[in-house]
């Protein structure tokens, strides 16, 4: 008998269940989405993001985002993801920014030496100051992870209230991507004497540039 059969058989024996039995009905998931003016999302996101040590910039239109980035990137070298929104904002056209990677090894090499990683964000959660990243041809995983600084540039329309609203919009993230990551603040540890240190393995600095959505 295979280990699979042994484990399943032991489980059934312990529970006194026959093979192939369906479970009893499960109550619908309780998703708590607050009733809130969507205009408040931006302020709330900003408060929570900055409480975690992040820094928020706001641009009235896409064209204003690139100068904010240029200021941040002075004397630094950055890798940007293939997110179309970054091109819309003119970020990929900046001289310090390397972009357009489609091959793993080249991307890894660039990310391990870059000072800054620039991505967009698929969603952002106001209640916790969280960025939500779905891996795709447009968004590689390592850009928000290897460089010591992470900058996310995204339109205001991607703000959601909280985790439960995200799970309402994406009831099963696996249908969209092999990897969804929620990022809530800079990488941190308190493993030695409970002293908080930022940037242990991931980025120690995190920035969000939110662009007013076209109406």
Q: Work out how close the CB of 143 gets to other proteins at its nearest, in angstroms, rounded to a whole number.
A: 9
Instruction: Sheet containing 130-134: give its strands across.
Output: 130-134, 123-125, 159-160
Q: Which is nearer to other proteins, 40 or 104 (CB)?
A: 104
Nearer CB in complex with other proteins: 145/151: 145
Q: Which residue number, 62 or 203, has a Cβ lying nearer to other proteins? A: 203
Minimum distance of other proteins from residue 209's CB (angstroms) = 20
Count of other CB atoms within 10 angstroms of residue 131:
26
CA distance 72 to 151: 9
CB nearer other proteins, residue 36 or residue 182: 182
CA atoms within 13 A on the CB side of 193: 1
Closest contact distance (angstroms) between CB of 158 and other proteins is 17
The candidate with the shortest Cα–Cα distance to 205, out of 137, 135, 151, is 151
Considering the complex, what minimum distance in angstroms separates the CB of residue 215 from other proteins? 31
What's the full length of the chain, in residues? 215
Q: Which tokens sit at 196? A: 């908080």
| Minimal distance, residue 43 CB to other proteins, in Å | 17
Residue identified by tokens 């850009």 is 143
Please state, in angstroms and rounded to a whole number, the distance separating the CA atoms of residues 188 and 66. Answer: 28
Comparing CB distances to other proteins, the nearer of 60 and 194 is 194
Distance CA 147, CA 90 (A): 21
Minimum distance between the CB of residue 201 and other proteins, rounded to whole angstroms? 4
Given the complex with other proteins, which of 67 and 200 has the nearer CB atom? 200
Helix, strand, or coil here: 103? coil
Neighbours of 17 (CB within 10 A): 11
Taking the chain, what is the end-to-end CA distance rounded to the nearest angstrom? Answer: 63
């Amino acid at each position: 008998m295979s280990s699979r059969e042994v484990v399943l058989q032991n489980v059934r024996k312990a529970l006194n269940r026959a093979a192939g039995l369906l479970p009893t009905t499960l109550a619908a998931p309780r998703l708590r989405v607050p009733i809130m003016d969507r205009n408040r999302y931006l302020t709330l996101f900003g408060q929570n993001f900055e409480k975690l040590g992040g820094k928020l910039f706001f641009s009235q239109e896409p064209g204003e985002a690139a100068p904010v980035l240029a200021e941040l990137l002075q004397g630094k070298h950055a890798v940007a993801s293939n997110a179309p929104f970054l091109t819309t904002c003119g970020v990929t056209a900046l001289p310090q920014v390397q972009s357009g990677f489609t091959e793993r090894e080249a991307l890894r090499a660039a990310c391990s030496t870059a000072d800054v990683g620039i991505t967009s964000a698929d969603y952002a959660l106001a209640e916790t100051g969280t960025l939500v990243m779905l891996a795709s041809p447009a968004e590689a995983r390592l850009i928000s992870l290897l460089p010591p600084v992470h900058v996310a540039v995204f339109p205001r329309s991607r703000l959601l209230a909280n985790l439960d609203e995200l799970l309402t919009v994406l009831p099963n993230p696996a249908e969209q991507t092999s990897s969804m990551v929620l990022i809530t603040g800079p990488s941190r540890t308190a493993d030695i004497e409970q002293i908080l240190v930022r940037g242990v393995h991931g980025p120690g600095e995190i920035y969000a540039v939110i662009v007013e959505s076209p109406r």
